């Protein structure tokens, strides 16, 4: 059987483990668990089923079209039967088997000695260079044999995922599909073999499923933090303007900045991790600066919408532009940093400031120029159309007569 380095999904049929946490984790196996003959037959049945009836959408096939399975029980049975099963597709070439004094299934009294003898034999599995190795080397990660006390602690079946690999990380939703599929196989095994073998545990050796849960935490915390930030920004903007519509438009502008920044960093190849989750959480706080200045300037201006827009730009436009330019220039040196956080923060700051300025000036102010916000002014100045600083406003010509 030719094997390459791939993602391994390991199943352990074992006694229940108890974890004791101190400065490290101590794993204690149930002492009365045994790999009894009935359990051996169950595991062999699972191996045959994986080999012949595997789902190629989830379990990878090898070069011969069969499942890329690693099942030491299959070779253990072949040894017990004297090599009469070497026509199986996972053994492309017949190899010699040593004579043994145990049969299949192995009796409980002979099991520990049989496993110890089995591990010293030459395997029929060949690697990419058509070389074989000892059983103990071939199945080092798949047989839970304790050489100190000469007992078997657990047995495994290992298959390759056709979707996941060790070199890339899938999104949480795609990985969860694979997790649910393999967890379904575990439940199916438990229905058949739990009474004879004990509970089945599924383990991803490349920790993709662990990262899946971590990614879910990142996503949840980032989304919650961003939405809370937008909510706080709405409250601050409402207190500054006393106008529901202006605060709503400003919050919508901040939300679009958030979407634009996340989309940009995704396109440049960022993955969701601790740093990105923190940056997304504080994104709303960085985005509120320009809209709150323009919103307050518009709210305190007098006259028609066009007059108030011009006055707001006249009072705050230059200051907002200067603030944007200095912030962007301050972020550029961070691009040269070798520390990941500083380099990431520089990219994040530059994108956030640029999008905030664009949306504040062209999106937010366009909405204010289009809609009548005075009807939504709850208290305070709503922009008096009649008098401005002692002058009279001509609403038709958008001018002020002094």
**pLDDT value of position 211:** 85
pLDDT at 1 over 50: no
**pLDDT value of position 93:** 55
**pLDDT value of position 328:** 92
Mean pLDDT of the chain: 81
What would be the CATH architecture of the domain defined by 215-401? Up-down Bundle (1.20)
**pLDDT tens, residue by residue, 102-120:** 889 999 888 888 988 888 8
**pLDDT value of position 380:** 58
pTM beyond 0.75: the answer is no
Residues 109 and 106: their CA atoms lie apart, in Å, by 8
**What's the chain look like in SS3?**
CCCCCCCEEEEEEECCCEEEECCCEEEECCCCCCCCHHHHHHHHHHHHHHHHHCCCCCECECCCCCECEECHHHHHHHHHCCCCCCCCCCCCCCCCCCCCCCCCCCCHHHHHHHHHHHHCCECCCCCCCCCCCEHHHHCCCCEEEECCCCEEEEEEEEEEECCCCCCCCCCHHHHHHHHHHHHHHHHHHHHHHHHHHCCEEEEECCCHHHHHHHHHHHHHHHHHHHHHHHHHHHHHHHHHHCEHHHHHHHHHHHHHHHHHHHHHHHHCCCCCCHHHHHHHHCHHHHHHHHHHHHHHHHHHCCCCHHHHHHHHHHHHHHHHHHHHHHHHHHHHHHHHCCCHHHHHHHHHHHHHHHHHHHHHHHHHHHHHHHCCCHHHECCCCCCCCCEECCEEEECCCCEEEC
**pLDDT value of position 359:** 95
**pLDDT tens, residue by residue, 345-367:** 999 999 999 999 999 999 999 99
pLDDT at 41 over 90: yes
**pLDDT value of position 87:** 44
Stretch(es) of the chain classified as CATH 1.20.1640.10: 215-401
User: Which of 48-52, 91-95, 200-204, 312-316 has the largest mean confidence?
Assistant: 312-316
High-pLDDT (> 90) share of the chain, %? 27
Q: Residue 222 — very low, low, confident or very high, per pLDDT cuts 50/70/90?
A: confident
**pLDDT value of position 84:** 57
**pLDDT value of position 351:** 94
**pLDDT tens, residue by residue, 386-401:** 444 444 445 444 444 4
Tell me the mean pLDDT in the region 229-256.
90
Taking alpha carbons only, the member of 8, 141, 147 closest to residue 67 is 8
pLDDT at 9 over 60: no
**pLDDT tens, residue by residue, 130-161:** 677 788 888 888 888 888 888 888 888 888 88
Q: Residue 252 — very low, low, confident or very high, per pLDDT cuts 50/70/90?
A: very high
Tell me the mean pLDDT in the region 309-318.
92
């Amino acid at each position: 059987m030719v094997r390459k380095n791939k993602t391994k999904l390991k199943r352990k049929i074992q006694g229940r483990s108890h974890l004791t946490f101190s400065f490290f984790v101590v794993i204690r196996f149930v002492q009365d668990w045994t790999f009894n003959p009935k359990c051996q037959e169950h595991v062999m049945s699972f191996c045959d089923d994986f080999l012949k009836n595997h789902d190629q959408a989830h379990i990878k096939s090898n070069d011969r079209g069969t499942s890329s399975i690693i099942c030491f029980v299959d070779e253990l049975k072949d040894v017990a039967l004297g090599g009469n099963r070497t026509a199986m597709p996972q053994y492309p070439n017949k190899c010699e088997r040593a004579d043994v004094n145990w049969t299949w299934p192995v009796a409980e009294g002979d099991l520990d000695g049989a496993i110890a003898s089995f591990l010293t034999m030459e395997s029929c599995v060949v690697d990419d260079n058509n070389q074989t190795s000892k059983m103990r080397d071939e199945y080092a990660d798949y047989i839970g044999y304790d050489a100190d006390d000469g007992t078997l602690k657990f047995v495994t079946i290992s298959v390759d995922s056709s979707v996941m690999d060790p070199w890339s990380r899938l999104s949480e939703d795609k990985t969860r599909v694979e997790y649910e599929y393999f967890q379904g196989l575990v439940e199916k095994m438990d229905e058949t073999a739990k009474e004879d073998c004990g509970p089945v545990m599924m383990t991803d050796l490349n920790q993709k499923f662990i990262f899946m849960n971590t990614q879910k935490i990142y996503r949840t915390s980032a989304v919650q933090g961003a939405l809370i930030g937008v909510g706080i920004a709405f409250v601050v903007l409402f207190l500054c303007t006393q106008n529901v519509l202006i605060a709503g438009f400003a919050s919508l502008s901040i939300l679009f900045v958030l979407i634009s920044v996340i989309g940009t960093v995704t396109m440049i190849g960022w993955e969701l991790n601790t740093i990105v989750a923190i940056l997304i959480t504080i994104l709303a706080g960085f985005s509120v600066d320009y809209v709150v200045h323009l919103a307050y300037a518009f709210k305190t201006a007098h006259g028609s919408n066009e007059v108030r827009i011009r006055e707001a730009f006249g009072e705050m436009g230059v200051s907002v532009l200067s603030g944007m330019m200095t912030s962007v220039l301050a972020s550029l040196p961070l691009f040269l940093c070798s520390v990941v956080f500083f380099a990431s923060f520089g990219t994040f700051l530059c994108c956030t400031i640029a999008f905030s300025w664009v949306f504040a000036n062209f999106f937010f102010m366009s909405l204010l120029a289009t809609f009548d916000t005075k009807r939504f002014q709850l208290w305070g100045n709503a922009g008096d159309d009649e008098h401005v600083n002692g002058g009279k406003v001509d609403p038709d010509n958008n001018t002020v007569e002094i």
